[in-house]
Chain A
Amino acid sequence: MNFDFSSEDRMVQEQVKRFLSERCSLGRYREVMEGETAHADDVWQGLSEMGVQGTAIPEAYGGVGAGYLPLCLAAQELGAVLAPVAFSSSIYLASEAILQFGTEDQKERYLPRLASGELIGTLAVSEGLAEPALDALEVVSGQDTVTGTKLMVPHGLIADIAIVVARGSEGAELLIVPLEGVQRSAVEGVDPSLAAATLTFSGTACEVLVGSGEGKQAYQTLLNRAAVLFAFEQIGGAEQALNMAVAYAKERFAFGRPIGSFQALKHMMADMYVALKLAESNAYYAAWALQNDAEDLPLAAATARVSATQAFQLCARDNIQVHGGMGFTWAFDCHLFYRRSNYLAVALGGSKAWDDHLVNALPGLAA
């Protein structure tokens, strides 16, 4: 048995890590948060020079064709620095959707430019202040057009194309929509690093990626695959938040001793570690399932998703607690992790939805 990443995969991770440590400090997140720029373009550019966007995209479509395992590890590093780039939207969602469901022609037209980073893609699904019901979407498709408003589209401000989930004649459809000319307005949000936007389509030209009647199933397949990659971003962030808490607890003194010597805080950090390790092990298994298109991918992905969400939310929350008042200042970075952890927790649907996916995927429990 070899339940670990290969040294080649680890080399990719090391390269991405080194690049990000030089070019993508948490200061980059702050630049986006404070409105200096919508996206860390140079980081995006640097990643594309290294070929990171194309890691799992086959060579035939301009990618590297190295598979999902190195992409998982790259995701972990991007998650650890809260990289303010459209990587998750463009690669785990838009590119993956086209790779899984696109026609040969669609793959050839879009994937090489997504792999090179020339195009940025995203996924537009949510519409109102509740989880979207795929059977009752208000964004509707007509003859090669789409009409309606999508609220809170991550990276919607900067994306070139969106995979839009819309209501067709027989249920949900997945559409490829070029965003040039589409009305976009920035939306303020808990995670201000997302370049999030409200997109309004009014008879906007589009092409069908997954037709009416098959959209719901395809959307869930896409979520399952993306959940594995999101889980790696989440454990990257969780580990970094835990490291921050531990480092601070060692150096901060109160009552004449390092606060890390108090059991109330030690036990809190031990619990953060436990949540992280469970999530990490589940994410490793899910990475294997994703790479090998394993039969139990839906269960493995939901399991990784549930644990990774728990781990990052716990670590980000309690990192603030360990820092005390300083942790609640704008100047300290704790809130950046807290913000990102909450975005990632709902990005593919919240915990209620994933609890359901998990239980549905248990052997013998199919609903």
Chain B
Amino acid sequence: MDFSDTQAEATFRETARAWISAHAPTYLAESLSRSGFGSTRTGDFDPIEEAKKWQKAKADAGWACLQWPKDYGGRGATPIESVIWNQEEGVYGKLSGTFIIGQGMCAPTMMAYANEDQKRRYLPKLASGEEIWCQLFSEPHGGSDLAGLRTRAIKDGDEWVVNGQKIWTSGAHYSDYGILITRTDPEVAKHRGLTMFFLDMRSQGVEIRPIKQANGDSGFNEVFFDNVRIPDAQRLGEVGDGWKVALTTLMNERLAIGGSIATGFPEIEALVKELVITAGPAIEDASVRARLADWYAKSAGLKNTGARAISALSKGEIPGPENSIGKLVAGGMMQDIAKYGMELQGLGGLVTDPTIARSQAQIQAMLMRSPAVRIEGGTDQILRNIIAERVLGLPEDMRADKGLAFSQIPTSTDAKRGS
């Protein structure tokens, strides 16, 4: 065991650090450090503009999408170099939130399924942040049951005509392109009748409406498709192979390593250090201490699990399945922490006015954002299924739709009709 860099890693870190300290937007550091819980804080500056500026600067100097081939706008770096970059980028990495879906999920799918011309046309601009991509997967009727999606694409000459609706599309309102999964054959089993495309988000017939979320923010959208025409050349993978293509996308959800996944621990630690409750300083209360110990042990467990993954990458190995636990642990913990942090302050804990509440109402922001953490990118329940089936090798659940053509699968509409 040894926590220091190898000589090559240390040299790389030095180079990265020097470039960052010479070029980073230091005027944003203070605001960015207070980001989190679904928002990127850039003070008086526009978050998308600032994100694009930093991304372009990185790309011009060869620091964008480090692991991608140079021909597609990357650096051809190793996974461990990428981790080191993330550690050094630190707070400025929060500006990358705008590009995560495009670079982390759309790009690997394009690399696997787009033709060479398309890759050379789209990937470098995706890396440089000049073009932003989104992912059009979830639907009102297909969230956890993603393959139950209903958006239809019908072939018409060299084009496909798309009708339907997507939901929970992050950043659709500022995206230039998107990857879109559709149903092209409802008469076969649900996983078999899907086809993937990419499209220009400014195509005729695309309508984007922001969703007002339970916490009052609007980071997601509904996207409606009304006879949207997509050239067949923008199909990714074979007709009917959309599920396979989607799995490529989902498998590439960026491993939360190198950086750290938000758990809420630093916020609750800061709160109980300063808070005085009826019986005295909160930090001296036995029940507060018991909870703090439990949460610290969990957040340290996630951090150390991340360190094991980095260690595996450093040796050229693939990180083990223990990395699947991150969001499951962090989401539930964040919600528990926020609830406890609010309760400790009594009615005062309800105040969301940042000029009155402690720490600009971070606990309250966490309280209202954390339910989404347990849903987005795989619900707690889906994540437990994944751990149980893929890691522990337990058998799949019995499914009511197995072997049925998509058009024959019962829906809630059928249930209301009493059929």
Give the interface of A toward B (CB within 8 A): 1-6, 69, 242, 246, 249-250, 257-258, 260-263, 266-267, 269-271, 273-274, 277-282, 284-285, 287-288, 291, 302-303, 306-307, 310, 351-352, 354-356, 358-359, 362, 364-365, 367
Contact = CB atoms under 8 A, between A and B. Distances in A.
B394 A246 contact: yes
B397 interface: yes
Interface of B: prevailing SS: helix
A94 B328 CA distance: 40
Contacts of A277: 301, 305, 322, 325
Given A260-B395, A261-B397, A277-B325, A270 B384 contact: yes
A278 B308 contact: no
Contacts of A281: 301-302, 304-305, 307-308, 322
A270 B325 CA distance: 9
Given A1-B311, A273-B392, A282 B301 contact: yes
Nearest to B286: A352
B106 to A, nearest CB: 29
Contacts of B304: 3, 281-282, 284-285
Interface in B2-26: 2-5, 9
Interface stretch (B126-134, B290-298, B401-409): B290-298
A235 to B, nearest CB: 11
Interface in B251-309: 269, 273, 283-284, 286, 289-290, 292-294, 296-298, 300-302, 304-305, 307-308
A201 B139 CA distance: 74
Contact of A303 (B283, B284, B296, B305): B296
B78 to A, nearest CB: 13
A267 B381 contact: yes
A4 B315 CA distance: 10
Which 8 residue pairs of A and B lie closest in terms of their CB atoms, listed nearest first?
A278-B301, A281-B304, A266-B388, A355-B293, A3-B311, A270-B384, A270-B387, A260-B394
B418 to A, nearest CB: 26
Contacts of B391: 273
21 contacts: A4-B315, A250-B395, A261-B395, A266-B397, A267-B388, A269-B388, A270-B385, A270-B392, A273-B387, A277-B325, A278-B329, A281-B304, A282-B301, A284-B304, A285-B304, A291-B1, A306-B293, A307-B300, A355-B292, A358-B297, A362-B292
Contacts of B383: 270
Given A266-B384, A307-B297, 10 more contacts: A2-B314, A3-B311, A4-B308, A267-B388, A274-B325, A274-B328, A281-B305, A285-B304, A355-B293, A359-B293
Interface of B: 1-5, 9, 269, 273, 283-284, 286, 289-290, 292-294, 296-298, 300-302, 304-305, 307-308, 310-312, 314-315, 322, 325, 328-329, 381, 383-385, 387-389, 391-398
Nearest to A364: B273
Given A310-B297, A355-B290, A263 B392 contact: no
B209 to A, nearest CB: 34
A201 B284 CA distance: 38
A362 B269 contact: yes
Contacts of B387: 270, 273-274
A1 B3 CA distance: 5
Contacts of B396: 261
Nearest to A286: B304
A1 B4 contact: yes
Name the residue among B5, B9, B392 with the largest chain A CB count within 10 angstroms: B392
A3 B322 contact: no
Contact of A3 (B3, B283, B325): B3
A212 B136 CA distance: 70
A89 to B, nearest CB: 25
B329 A246 contact: no
A278 B298 contact: yes
A281 to B, nearest CB: 4
Given A273-B387, A278-B329, A356-B289, A2 B1 contact: yes
B320 to A, nearest CB: 9
Contacts of A355: 289-290, 292-294
Nearest to A263: B397
A15 B389 CA distance: 31
A1 B258 CA distance: 12
A117 B314 CA distance: 40
B394 A249 contact: yes
A278 B297 contact: yes
A258 B388 CA distance: 14
B215 to A, nearest CB: 26
Contacts of B385: 263, 266-267, 270
A270 B388 CA distance: 5
Contacts of B381: 263, 267
A129 B387 CA distance: 41
A277 B397 CA distance: 24
Name the residue among A257, A307, A359 with the largest chain B CB count within 10 angstroms: A359
A270 B383 CA distance: 9
A282 B286 CA distance: 23
Contacts of A5: 1
B16 to A, nearest CB: 15
Nearest to A243: B392
A3 B310 contact: yes
Contacts of B325: 273-274, 277-278
